[in-house]
A and B are shown apart, each in its own frame.
Chain A
Amino acid sequence: GENVEQHPSTLSVQEGDSAVIKCTYSDSASNYFPWYKQELGKRPQLIIDIRSNVGEKKDQRIAVTLNKTAKHFSLHITETQPEDSAVYFCAASKGSGGYQKVTFGTGTKLQVIP
């Protein structure tokens, strides 16, 4: 089955700096890579996703890049703000219609220091 590894497990940055979280996956057939943000005591929420036919996707201050050859993808947050503090999970699936299991990474706790 799919295995998703995520690094680092914790990350502290100064407000305004950038943060990068990296994930690798094992199943070359995976083609859908979402990122979820989970604030303390809250439910995980999808913040951005990318499909395997795209190398990069941006949404305001967040971006995701994908390297299919190396089987890794990354989340980039620029101009970090205190409200970005949360746990971030990457995930992978072979989403193509119908049921495909979503495998989550181990999570990165991001702390933005004001």
Chain B
Amino acid sequence: SAVISQKPSRDICQRGTSLTIQCQVDSQVTMMFWYRQQPGQSLTLIATANQGSEATYESGFVIDKFPISRPNLTFSTLTVSNMSPEDSSIYLCSVGGQGSATNEKLFFGSGTQLSVL
């Protein structure tokens, strides 16, 4: 299993500002995933962060709004830019377990609860 440290755990931000969320994994992983969980909702994949290449974004999510960095195999950041109240959500980073199918058996960080005023 992977141990994932995510910070901040929560933040309250003003409209129009940006917040960067950090995710640190205790082992090297090829792919890291960023999810959004709106209040009482399911988990929606924002993007997949690959080391050495640009992140792959899912439909409805764009790089200008959610820029991602992946400087090495154990770390990634997600920035929520130009925030509005609709961005209020829990953001989770995730990695796959070790093995041939690296996206299976997902392990999640503790999440960042973001409130935008």
B-chain residues with CB within 8 Å of residue A106 when the two chains form the complex: 41-42
Interface of chain A: mostly helix, strand, loop or mixed: loop
Assess the B108–A43 pair: CB atoms within 8 A. Answer: yes
Assess the B45–A101 pair: CB atoms within 8 A. Answer: yes
For chain B, residues 40 to 75, give those with C-beta under 8 angstroms from any C-beta of chain A: 41-45, 48, 58
For chain B, residues 13 to 31, give those with C-beta under 8 angstroms from any C-beta of chain A: 31
Q: Which residue of chain B has its CB nearest to the CB of A109?
A: B40
| Size bracket, chain B contacts | 20 to 34
1/0 per position for B89-106, CB-CB distance to A under 8 A? 000100000001111111
| Size bracket, chain A contacts | 20 to 34
Partner of A96, one of B31, B41, B101: B101
Assess the B42–A89 pair: CB atoms within 8 A. Answer: yes
Assess the B31–A99 pair: CB atoms within 8 A. Answer: yes
Question: In the assembled complex, how far is the CB of residue B10 from the closest CB belonging to chain A, in whole angstroms?
Answer: 10
Partner of A43, one of B100, B101, B105, B109: B109
Q: Which residue of chain B has its CB nearest to the CB of A87?
A: B40
A30 at interface (Cβ–Cβ under 8 A)? no
Most chain A beta carbons < 10 A, residue from B41, B92, B101, B107: B101
Assess the A107–B105 pair: CB atoms within 8 A. Answer: no
